[in-house]
Amino acid sequence: MNFAKQVEGIYRLKVPFEDLYTSIFLLKTDYGNMLVDCATYDSDIDKYLVPALQNLGLCLTGVEYLVVTHSHCDHAGGKNRILEIAPNVKIIDKSIDNIFNCLTVCELKGHTIDCIGVFDERSGTLISADALQGAGVGKYRCCIENKQEYLKTIEKISKNKRIKNILFSHSYEPWNSDVAIGREEVEKCLEYCKEYAIK
């Protein structure tokens, strides 16, 4: 399995998770590299992430930051293995502005109260991980820990017209895709998310 380019500077690695997949994102900048999320198991790091990085001419010790979007196992499970291989990687699990002069880690509460995402100002792309769920995916229906915060997150994203694209960690229903490219698609996804949240 290899990283696939999503937009300029952002790549996705689909890692098997049950009968679905979860995503690890790689953000490459002129100043350094960032990973967003780290799959489910320590073994995923050796089996999928390390070889996929090597295929891009990179290694874990060449990654400066790891953003863990929230504490669910399919997003945070490989963190300890990454730290064993690359102990100097800085773990980010809260909002931080202006990393590499182009990336912002932002709160996206609702799915869980600790949800965060990454906004790439270069392409106007938000990596939302599980923060926006629509009707959910597979056996996992729309899972919201705090509905009020979830609706606030949807509203915040809707008001931020700089967000031109969204990358999700899974292929959510009913749009059945793990990307929303273009502002029109972003707005459609946000409407779906709002609809299923208030049901």
Domain boundaries, given as residue ranges, for the chain: 8-197
65-67 β-sheet, strand order: 4-7, 10-17, 20-28, 33-36, 65-67, 90-92
**What's the pLDDT tens digit per position in 137-194?**
999 999 999 999 999 999 999 999 999 999 999 999 999 999 999 999 999 999 999 9
**Is residue 154 within 8 Å of residue 193, measured between CB atoms?**
yes
* Alpha carbon distance 134, 132 (integer Å): 6
Residue 76 has pLDDT above 90, yes or no: yes
Mean pLDDT across the stretch 31-56? Answer: 98
Q: How many residues does the chain have?
A: 199
* Alpha carbon distance 191, 57 (integer Å): 40
Mean pLDDT across the stretch 42-48? Answer: 98
**What's the pLDDT tens digit per position in 164-175?**
999 999 999 999
Of the candidates 93, 95, 31, the residue with the CA atom closest to the CA atom of residue 63: 31
What phi and psi values does residue 27 have, to the nearest 5 degrees? -110, 120
Cross-strand bridge partners of residue 104: 119
pLDDT at 188: 96
Enclosing H/E stretch for 168? strand 165-172
98: number of CA atoms within 13 Å, CB side?
1
Fold of 8-197: Metallo-beta-lactamase; Chain A (3.60.15)
**What's the pLDDT tens digit per position in 77-107?**
999 999 999 999 999 999 999 999 999 999 9
